[in-house]
A and B are shown apart, each in its own frame.
Chain A
Amino acid sequence: MVAAVISVLLLILGQKTDYLQSLKDALSLIVHPVLLAIDVPNKSLRWIAENTADRAELLDQNKKLTSEALLLKARLQKFAAIEKENTRLHNLLESSYKIGEQFISASLIDVNLSANTQHIIIDKGHRFNLFEGQSVINEDGVIGQIIEVHPLSSRILLITDPNHAIPVEINRTGLRTIAIGNGVLNTVNLPYLPHNTDIKPGDLLITSGLGGIFPMGYPVARVSKLTPSPGEAFMRAEAATIAKIDKTREVLLVWSNQQPVPLLPSEPTTPKQTINDAR
C-alpha cells in the first residue's frame, strides 16, 4: 500500500514539477546496461561487416565517397556568396534573421519503446550538452526533437508521433501550416489546409522556424496524398517524411545560433558552421 501511495505521489510530482529529474537520471544510469545489451547484436553485426569487407568493396566505397565529397564541396562554393547576398538583401528590408547551425552526431540505439508512441533513443546525453527541445535531423531532413535528456542517453520524439506538431511551410508557395504526426511510420498529416489552398502532391514542406524549436529551412516531408473532403472545414492531406527513420543509423543534433546575423554589411558576417563530430 505504501508503494501504491508513493507511486501516485511520484506521478503527481512528475506531472506538476521537475523535482524528479535527478531521480530519473540516477535510474537511467541503472537501466543503461539494458540499452547496451539490446544494442549488442546490431553493433556486433556492423563490426563483423566492417572487418570482413574486402579490398575491392572498400575501394569502391572510397571512390563513391570521394566523388560525393567533391560534388558537395562544389555545391558549397556558391553558398558563401549567396549567404552574403542574402544578408545584404535582408539589410535592405531592415529585417534580421538567423543563420548557421552547429551539429553533433549521435547514433541510434535500436530499441522499441512502446507500440503506440514513436520515440527513439540515442547514445548521447547531458555529457554533450544536449538539451530538451533540441531539434534532431539526419542527412535528409528533420527527424524530431529531444524530449528527455539523461546523462548517457536521450529520448527523441519523432515528428510522426501523434503528440508531435511541427510548423512547416510549403516551399513552392511559402504558405505556412502545421504538420502533425499520425502514428504511422514516415508519414505526417496536414490537418489545417483550407480547400482552396494552392498545394499539390510532390510539394516540399520545409521547417518555417516559427515555433522557435526547429531552425528554418530544413526539409520535413513531401506531400503524398490529397483527399478533398466536401462538407468538412479542411481538406485531408498526407505527406511522407523525407528522412526515413527506419533506415537511419546516425542522427545530427542541431544548435541554432541564438544571435541574429548583424545587419551592418561592413561587419564580416561569416557564421560559424563547424561540424562538430565528437565520436
Chain B
Amino acid sequence: MHARSSGNGVIYLSLFIAMCLSVLPWTNHVSALMPNWTLLVLMYWSLALPHKVSIGTAFVTGLLFDVLTGSNLGQNALIFSLTTFCSHTFYSRLRNYHVWQQAIFILFFLSLMQLLALWITQLNQQQGLGYHYVVQAISSAVFWPLIFASLRSTRRRFKVQ
C-alpha cells in the first residue's frame, strides 16, 4: 500500500463538483428536493478514507461552502466537522452496514444537523420552520446509494487509497 499523489486530486475535484451541484440553479420546487451534495460527498470520503479526509479538511470545506452560499461564516464549517467527527468515530461500524442502513443513519443524522443549521440561521434571520428542513434530510438519504456507488467506482478506478 502506498500513498498516491493523484488521490487527493480526485477527492478535491469531487468536492468541487459537489459544491457546483449545490448551487446549480433550479426552480424553487426542485431546489427544495435537492440533497446536501457537498456533505454527502464529504461523508463518503471520510467513511472510505478516514486517514485522508480529516476534520480539518471538512472544516475548510465548510468555510468555503459558507462563503459560497452566504450563510453565517462557521455554520457549515461546524456542521461538516461534526459530521466528519461522527463518521470517523463510527466508520468501522458504518462500513459494515448495508447501503440502505447507512441511508437511514444519514436521514437521522442530517435531520439533527438541519436542526443545528436552523438554530444558527435564527441568530440573524427569521425563517419559518418549513417542511424543507426535513425534505433535504430525506432526499439526502435517498440520494446516498447513488453517491455511494458512483464515488466507490471512482475511488476504485483512480485507486485512491
Chain A: residues with CB nearer than 8 A to chain B?
Answer: 1-4, 6-11, 14-15, 20, 23-24, 27-28, 30-31, 33-35, 37-38, 110-117, 119, 147-148, 150, 155, 162-163, 185
Identity of the chain B residue whose Cβ is nearest the Cβ of A114 in the assembled complex: B69
13 sampled A-B residue pairs with Cβ under 8 A: A7-B81, A9-B74, A10-B63, A15-B123, A15-B124, A30-B67, A34-B68, A38-B20, A111-B24, A113-B69, A114-B69, A162-B126, A162-B128
Q: Is B56 an interface residue (CB 8 A)?
A: yes
Identity of the chain B residue whose Cβ is nearest the Cβ of A20 in the assembled complex: B73
16 more A-B residue pairs beyond the given contacts A3-B59, A4-B78, A11-B74, with a C-beta to C-beta distance below 8 A: A3-B85, A10-B63, A14-B72, A15-B72, A15-B123, A15-B124, A24-B73, A27-B63, A34-B20, A34-B23, A110-B25, A112-B23, A113-B23, A117-B125, A162-B126, A162-B128
Which of B26-34, B44-52, B96-104, B142-150 lines the interface with chain A? Answer: B26-34
**Given the complex of chains A and B, what is the CA–CA distance between A14 and B72 in angstroms?**
7
B24 touches A38 (CB 8 A): yes
**Given the complex of chains A and B, what is the CA–CA distance between A25 and B19 in angstroms?**
18
B70 touches A7 (CB 8 A): no
B58 touches A7 (CB 8 A): no
**Given the complex of chains A and B, what is the CA–CA distance between A162 and B130 in angstroms?**
13
Q: Which residues of A contact B55 (CB under 8 A)?
A: 2-3
Q: Is B151 an interface residue (CB 8 A)?
A: no
B20 touches A115 (CB 8 A): no
Chain B: residues with CB nearer than 8 A to chain A?
Answer: 16, 19-20, 23-26, 28, 31-32, 34, 55-56, 58-59, 62-64, 66-75, 77-78, 81-82, 85, 120, 123-128, 130, 132, 136
Which secondary structure characterizes the binding site on chain B? Answer: helix
* A23 CB to nearest chain B CB (Å): 7
A11 touches B120 (CB 8 A): yes
B132 touches A115 (CB 8 A): yes
Identity of the chain B residue whose Cβ is nearest the Cβ of A30 in the assembled complex: B64
B67 touches A112 (CB 8 A): no
Would A7 and B25 be within 8 Å (CB), given that A20-B73, A27-B67, A116-B127 are in contact? no
Tell me which of B24, B124, B132 has the highest count of chain A C-beta atoms within 10 A of its own C-beta.
B24
**Given the complex of chains A and B, what is the CA–CA distance between A28 and B73 in angstroms?**
11
Identity of the chain B residue whose Cβ is nearest the Cβ of A9 in the assembled complex: B74
B74 touches A111 (CB 8 A): no
Q: Which residues of B contact A38 (CB under 8 A)?
A: 20, 23-25
**Given the complex of chains A and B, what is the CA–CA distance between A264 and B16 in angstroms?**
60
Q: Which residues of A contact B127 (CB under 8 A)?
A: 116, 162
**Given the complex of chains A and B, what is the CA–CA distance between A7 and B65 in angstroms?**
13
**Given the complex of chains A and B, what is the CA–CA distance between A112 and B125 in angstroms?**
18
Q: Which residues of B contact A35 (CB under 8 A)?
A: 23, 68
Give me the 9 closest cross-chain CB pairs, A-B, nearest first.
Answer: A10-B74, A3-B81, A7-B78, A11-B74, A7-B74, A7-B77, A3-B59, A27-B67, A115-B32
Identity of the chain A residue whose Cβ is nearest the Cβ of B54 in the assembled complex: A3
* B156 CB to nearest chain A CB (Å): 26
Identity of the chain A residue whose Cβ is nearest the Cβ of B16 in the assembled complex: A34
Identity of the chain B residue whose Cβ is nearest the Cβ of A155 in the assembled complex: B70
B132 touches A3 (CB 8 A): no
* A114 CB to nearest chain B CB (Å): 6
Q: Which residues of A contact B25 (CB under 8 A)?
A: 38, 110-112
**Given the complex of chains A and B, what is the CA–CA distance between A258 and B109 in angstroms?**
52
A37 touches B73 (CB 8 A): no
* B42 CB to nearest chain A CB (Å): 13
A34 touches B73 (CB 8 A): no
**Given the complex of chains A and B, what is the CA–CA distance between A267 and B151 in angstroms?**
71
Tell me which of A3, A20, A119, A163 has the highest count of chain B C-beta atoms within 10 A of its own C-beta.
A3
Identity of the chain A residue whose Cβ is nearest the Cβ of B78 in the assembled complex: A7
